[in-house]
Amino acid sequence: MMKFIEILTVSILFQNGSSERDVAFIKFPFEGGLRGMFILLTIMIIPLFVMGQQADTTNAQIEQYLQQAAQNNPDLKAQYKQYLSALQQSPQVSTLPDPELAFGYFINPIETRVGPQQARFGITQMFPWFGTLNARGDAATKQAKAKFEAFQDARNKLFYEVQKSWYHLYQIEQSIRILEENIELLGIFESLAIQKYETNQVGQADVLRVQIEKEDLKSRMEFQKDNRQVARQEFNELLNRQADSKVVTSDSLKEKFLERSKGELEQTVMRQNPKLSKIDFEASSARSSIKAAQKEGMPKFGLGIDYMITDERDMALTDNGQDAILARVGVQIPLYRKKYRAKEKQAQIQLHSVQDHQQATENKLLRQLSQALRDYRDGKRRLNLYKDIQIQRTQQTIDILTEQYSTSATDFEELLRLQRKLLDYELAQQQALVDLNTAVARIDYLYGKHNTIPEAIELE
């Protein structure tokens, strides 16, 4: 029973990212069946609880950063204001033209039977062909909706970039931690080599080898610290914060899983991706523009009324000095058809262009989805390889060689080579985890996971 508990402890701690050397000296005394069972349950439950708490904290932190980016990113604000600006186009094109008010003064009054006419007031309102204003307004409205989809795509892409940048920062932090641990371990190897050298059991070359390795790792760690500063600045730029603002990362990162098949994801991308929705609205707008161009080539009607001021004559007449009122009806005939045909042709070409662009965009999105799924599967394979196989086996070999070296003249160079190998595996494990989660974030971006509606947007 005692042996079983020790093995289970090591296995669970491995799943939480601890290396075997961290648990090599963990012992749990067993006294009686009840105490053993209590220890066993504690070992099984506590790590799972800690993992769940860390995962919830990580998700909450990322969501907080996404919210800050949505509210503060200047490029996203610019995109949203373009949408708001486009909304103002529809009232401009779907409203009747302004009425024309005219005033005329007769320099030489026109004599009439009831008296001379002195001045004239007139007002005229033109009316386009039936349905023209609705077609114009519909085209402008669809263009505004296309602008919103462009904003939505920019927002989703920003969320992807924020997550990608945050994962990159996490990887750098983990690289620094792993390098520090390996430097400490090489320090132990160095002390061991010095002891054996002082007792003439090995040559000075073993001491020099481990010192060379340690200095190399120190240099790599300093580079990662510089890299962390640049990555932090890039992350804060996405949130429009001060370059040196603190970025909170996690001590561990939970592996993300895809809950949909490739076929389901492809259908969702075709249905929800804002790029395709934008193109759909642009195509609909082009169709409305064709209809508007056709109607603009039809006659326009005008209604008007004139009021003429008449002075009185110096005689007794019926209706003497009575002002005159004139009602007018006019028709604007589109004789010059060239401009109307060109306008309709322009809208048709635009529609064909949008349709071609839609096909190209669909092909590109499906290719990007396949790439993201490939990266996800590759990251999962590498993560399982390093976590479950390579790291454990390499660590076991190092422990065996370390024990042998402490008692005999085992090849020290082979021990250092395996330690370098273990370091590479540990770094590669974190890289695989980051690549996997980044691929999931990219898939979320492609199928529009964070899509929203205009009423739900709140930007300062």
- Work out the average pLDDT over 359-365: 96
pLDDT above 80 for 26? no
Output the pLDDT for position 410: 63
Closest among 173, 45, 130 to 430, alpha carbons compared: 173
- Work out the average pLDDT over 35-47: 40
Give 421-452 pLDDT, tens digit per residue. 999 999 999 999 999 999 999 999 999 999 98
Residue 447 in 3-state DSSP? coil
Contact indicator for 83, 155 with CB cutoff of 8 Å: no
Q: 204, exposed or middle or buried, with CB in 10 Å at 0-12, 13-18, 19+? A: exposed
Closest among 329, 330, 336, 348 to 296, alpha carbons compared: 336
Give 172-230 pLDDT, tens digit per residue. 999 999 999 999 989 988 898 898 888 887 788 888 988 999 999 999 999 999 999 99
Output the pLDDT for position 11: 32
Counting runs of H as helices and runs of E as strands, what totals does the chain give?
Answer: 12, 4
pLDDT above 70 for 374? yes
Which H or E run contains 101?
A: strand 100-112
Output the pLDDT for position 282: 95
pLDDT above 90 for 128? yes
Distance CA 298, CA 285 (A): 20
Percent of the chain with pLDDT over 90: 60
Output the pLDDT for position 396: 87
Identify the band that residue 19 occupies on the pLDDT scale cut at 50, 70 and 90.
very low
pLDDT above 80 for 79? yes
Domain 138-298+341-456, CATH among 1.20.1440.230, 1.20.1600.10, 1.10.1740.10, 3.30.420.40: 1.20.1600.10
Output the pLDDT for position 76: 95
Residue 329 in 3-state DSSP? strand
Closest among 224, 227, 210, 212 to 180, alpha carbons compared: 224
- Work out the average pLDDT over 261-281: 95
Identify the band that residue 23 occupies on the pLDDT scale cut at 50, 70 and 90.
very low
Percent of the chain with pLDDT over 70: 85
Identify the band that residue 268 occupies on the pLDDT scale cut at 50, 70 and 90.
very high
Output the pLDDT for position 312: 80
Distance CA 186, CA 402 (A): 12
Identify the band that residue 77 occupies on the pLDDT scale cut at 50, 70 and 90.
very high
State how far the alpha carbon of 264 is from the alpha carbons of 256, 258, 279, 447, in Å. 18, 11, 22, 10
Which H or E run contains 286?
A: helix 274-296
Which H or E run contains 115?
A: strand 115-127
Output the pLDDT for position 202: 78
Identify the band that residue 53 occupies on the pLDDT scale cut at 50, 70 and 90.
low
Sign of the C-alpha dihedral, residues 415, 419, 424, 430? positive
- Among 37-41, 78-82, 212-216, 366-370, where is mean pLDDT lowest? 37-41
Closest among 173, 335, 330, 142 to 246, alpha carbons compared: 173
User: Which has more pLDDT, 21 or 401?
Assistant: 401
- Residues with Cβ within 8 Å of 80's Cβ and at least 6 positions away in sequence, in order, are 151, 457, 459
Output the pLDDT for position 7: 30
Distance CA 140, CA 22 (A): 65
Output the pLDDT for position 41: 39
Closest among 82, 206, 209 to 147, alpha carbons compared: 82
Output the pLDDT for position 203: 82
User: Domain extents for the chain?
Assistant: 138-298+341-456
421-454 CB burial, b ≥16 within 10 A, e <16: ebbebbbbbbbbbbbbbbbbbbbbbbbbebbeee
For 42, other C-beta atoms within 10 Å of its C-beta total 11
Identify the band that residue 55 occupies on the pLDDT scale cut at 50, 70 and 90.
low
For 366, other C-beta atoms within 10 Å of its C-beta total 15
What mean pLDDT is reported for the chain? Answer: 84
Give 399-409 pLDDT, tens digit per residue. 888 887 777 65
pLDDT above 60 for 25? no
C-alpha radius of gyration, the chain, whole number: 39
Contact indicator for 432, 386 with CB cutoff of 8 Å: yes
Identify the band that residue 96 occupies on the pLDDT scale cut at 50, 70 and 90.
very high
State how far the alpha carbon of 436 is from the alpha carbons of 66, 409, 424, in Å. 19, 43, 18
pLDDT above 60 for 6? no
